[in-house]
């Protein structure tokens, strides 16, 4: 979830393009794990996913579903890159 929310923030958009392969690389997991996580987010109606296109439909819900490490990552990004 952090991957989707962080990517949307960096893209300054609620819709972005990212491949399963790149997500698995970013997260250090197999593509099957990314597929499973994406499926859970779709079931919760937080995102939609079609090929590499990922529109976020419930930003507040996605942020709530992200672990507390999201805030730490966001703050670190802001302190380094402004």
Q: Domain residue spans in the chain?
A: 2-81
Q: What is the pLDDT of residue 10?
A: 67
How far, in Å, CA of 77 to CA of 38, rounded?
24
Q: What is the pLDDT of residue 9?
A: 66
For domain 2-81, is the CATH number 1.10.3720.10?
no
* The length of the chain, given as a count of residues: 82
Beta-carbon contacts of residue 71 (< 8 Å; ≥ 6 apart): none
Average pLDDT over residues 9-37: 79
How far, in Å, CA of 63 to CA of 60, rounded?
5
Please give the structure tokens belonging to residue 59: 């930003």
Token look-up 């499926």 returns: 39
pTM reported for the whole predicted model: 0.52
CA 42, chain centre distance (Å): 12
CA 82, chain centre distance (Å): 20
Q: Is residue 49 scored above 80 in pLDDT?
A: no
């Amino acid at each position: 979830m952090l991957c989707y929310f962080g990517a949307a923030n960096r893209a300054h958009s609620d819709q972005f393009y990212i491949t399963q392969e790149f997500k698995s690389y970013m997260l250090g997991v197999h593509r099957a794990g990314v597929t499973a996580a994406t499926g859970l987010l779709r079931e919760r109606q937080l995102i939609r996913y079609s090929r590499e296109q990922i529109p976020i439909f419930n930003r507040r819900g996605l942020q709530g579903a992200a672990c507390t490490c999201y805030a730490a990552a966001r703050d670190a990004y802001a302190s380094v890159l402004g």
